[in-house]
Amino acid sequence: MDNTPGRYPAMSQCFASFPVVKRFFFLFILLCATLPVSWKLAQAAITDSQDILLQYSAAGHLLGFASDGLYVAGGDHLFHVGFVGASGIKPEAENSHRAEENPPLSGVDYHDLWPGIHLHYAVTQKGIAESTWEIIPGAHVNQIRLRYNAPVTIGIDGNLNIKYPTGTMNESAPVAWQEIDGHRCPVKVAFSLFASSAKAPVLGFKVGQYDSSRPLLIDPTLSWNTFMGVASGYDTGNAIAVDSQGNIYVVGYGGPWGNTSSYAGGEDAFVAKFDSNGNLVWNTFLGSSQFDEANAVAVDSNGSVFVAGDSEASWGSPKQGYTGGRDGFVAKLNNSGVLQWNTFMGSSGDDIGTGIEVGSSGEIYVTGESKGSWGSNPKRPYTGDWDAFAAKLDANGTLTWNTFLGSTDLDNGEDVTIDGNGAVYVTGYSTKSWGNNPVRGFTGTTYDAFAAKLNSSGVLQWNTFLGSSGIDVAEGIALDKTDNIYIIGGSAATWENPINNFTGGGDIFVAKLQNNGVLQWNTFLGSTGNDVGQAITLDNQGSIYVTGYSDAAWGNGKQAYAGGEDAFAAQLTGNGTFKWNTFLGSSDDDEGNGIIAANGGRVYITGISASTWGVPRNPHADGGDPDAFVAKLRPSCSFYVFRSKNGKTTAVCL
């Protein structure tokens, strides 16, 4: 995390005047040891100190809660955080009222540890000791002074490194925000070193300006992440969807992991369901003994799961048979992951399914690319080389219509979406102009991104090209509530009059089109290195979320760039104004391939990582070659203003 000044541009505009502090909460994560999800009363003693009033055992460690601080003891180390200048209040066990002799600990409280400051320790599901600070009206956060029993350094990423002779412990950088109108608005916070004694440094926290009439929360931005895959082999998450219950569905391909009963050999397409807390509900494999991949996923209102991808051999009991080469496929699974049907789409050449959407009546729309003609009567014929395609299937998987989009050279379809009238929108990229009268002409010497609209019968209504004279590709498409069109991709040079300028190398582009294909605006995101946009989604308020990967830092980086290629997430307003971005990944290569926004400001991302990172909720992967990942973010706004009415001041997240 970057806690340097200026991280939130123009934030000072929000704070012309401040009401008196009413109340706020202060949280941080203490990464002191790997602890289980319950603590038991301990029989051994940590030290000879008579001050340790509550003592619990935890997987070979002892936790002691004393009037003067917290102790964690292991075989060759003792971690101590002391409360400097505190009141000496006794800690209280949350479940001390229980009649059993050895109740498991659910929490420990220090009331009025400093005047008006309460501290609560709790156990999390992953066994990380979590401390919550509550500062009541009239109290001040700068009373908090924590003395560590070992040298500490504050890293450039804001993390606290605590050095012991036998190793180093790390405490994650605090991240602060306020909940305003259903959004998370950031507040600056950082560790602050008040006394730099090598043996007993004292730290506290510096908190930036905030709306003092609302609670302030501090916690890691990343809620959870988990990995999927095998110790040796390539596993990638390609797309993600969320159902109405908040369950998450991820598709991709790789070797066997989790439930392997349906794994057929080679690299198979996989489908995995997680609950909203990141726990694996089920996973299954689709495919043959050859190469099979899943590239797109959609979920209907009944929780049925629809998958698009491609296979090098036949599998299942397909409604339409495999025709050779690589064939695109569509598969339907019920909410328990059981295959209901599958079908193939394609020619004797190669055909790949890359995007899928499901309509309100269960009809299915697919896009991709084909290297040959197929279907009984395409609305628009195959024109040569690779052509993008769009197809509609009924709820039972029977082909209703298909059409080809493209020129005599290479044209790829990458994503598809639909509106409430059954119109179909496709995006991808082309190497030549096509269509009768493109809204915006082909400008490239290599690739231009394209968007196209079809009516509900598959007839082309319009198409347009987006890009520069260099390479431009589109990877994702989404609609807002009024059917404006949003596209993400990558560009090697600037074009039109962007909101944010092109910065060099390759940049992510985001563009908005009217429903008639006319460009409203475009903007660039990225560094001077290589940056690629892979997927796009909108929330119910019209905010735009994008993911992809970058090989250098850019933006305000709520979580810092870690090296190599890092996955990223970013938020823009519906008008294209950049709000925030964060990096996800290790010092190796990591890519974001799919993103979805759900109710309550939740954002989910899937992709691929070459090394572990974060604090995985469930490390399903064996930590070998690149693994698929899924991560949940709780996004925040980057700017808010104060509005006064009838003498009452409120903050509104923009």
Average pLDDT over residues 124-140: 64
Residue type, 627: D
Output the six-digit token pair for 452. 């196209």
Measured between alpha carbons, how far is residue 42 from residues 39, 97, 99, 106 in Å? 9, 18, 17, 15
CA angle 180, 186, 191 (to 5 degrees): 140
Average pLDDT over residues 398-427: 97
Measured between alpha carbons, how far is residue 237 from residues 231, 334, 609, 628 in Å? 16, 20, 9, 5
List pLDDT tens digits, range 548-563: 999 999 998 767 788 8
Classified as helix, coil or strand, 63 is strand
Q: Which residues pair with 178 in a beta bridge?
A: 185
List pLDDT tens digits, range 323-374: 999 999 999 999 999 999 999 999 999 999 999 999 999 999 999 999 999 9
Residue 433 pLDDT > 90: yes
Residue 639 pLDDT > 70: no
**582: pLDDT confidence band, cut at 50, 70 and 90?**
confident
Share above pLDDT 70 across residues of the chain, in percent, rounded to a whole number: 74
Distance CA 369, CA 541 (A): 33
Residue the block writes with tokens 């790997």: 34
Starting at the edge strand found earlier in the chain, the sheet holding 236-242 runs 236-242, 248-254, 268-274, 280-286
Distance CA 620, CA 279 (A): 10
**66: pLDDT confidence band, cut at 50, 70 and 90?**
confident
CA angle 20, 24, 27 (to 5 degrees): 150
DSSP state of 433: -
Residue type, 337: G
Residue 48 pLDDT > 80: no
Q: Are 358 and 382 in contact (CB under 8 A)?
A: no
Q: Which structural domains are found in the chain, ordered by start?
A: 11-222 (no CATH), 224-635 (2.120.10.30)
Torsion of CA 152, 154, 160, 166, to 10 degrees: -40
Q: What is the pLDDT at residue 210?
A: 66
Beta strands 424-430 and 448-454, pairing class: antiparallel
Starting at the edge strand found earlier in the chain, the sheet holding 160-164 runs 152-154, 160-164, 167-171
List pLDDT tens digits, range 246-291: 899 999 998 888 888 999 988 999 999 998 878 889 999 999 999 9
Distance CA 623, CA 637 (A): 34
Q: Are 571 and 553 in contact (CB under 8 A)?
A: no
Among residues 650, 646, 654, 634, which one has the least CA distance to residue 276? Answer: 634
Average pLDDT over residues 54-58: 61
pTM for the model stands at 0.68
- Rg (Cα) of the chain, in Å, rounded? 27
Distance CA 240, CA 597 (A): 10
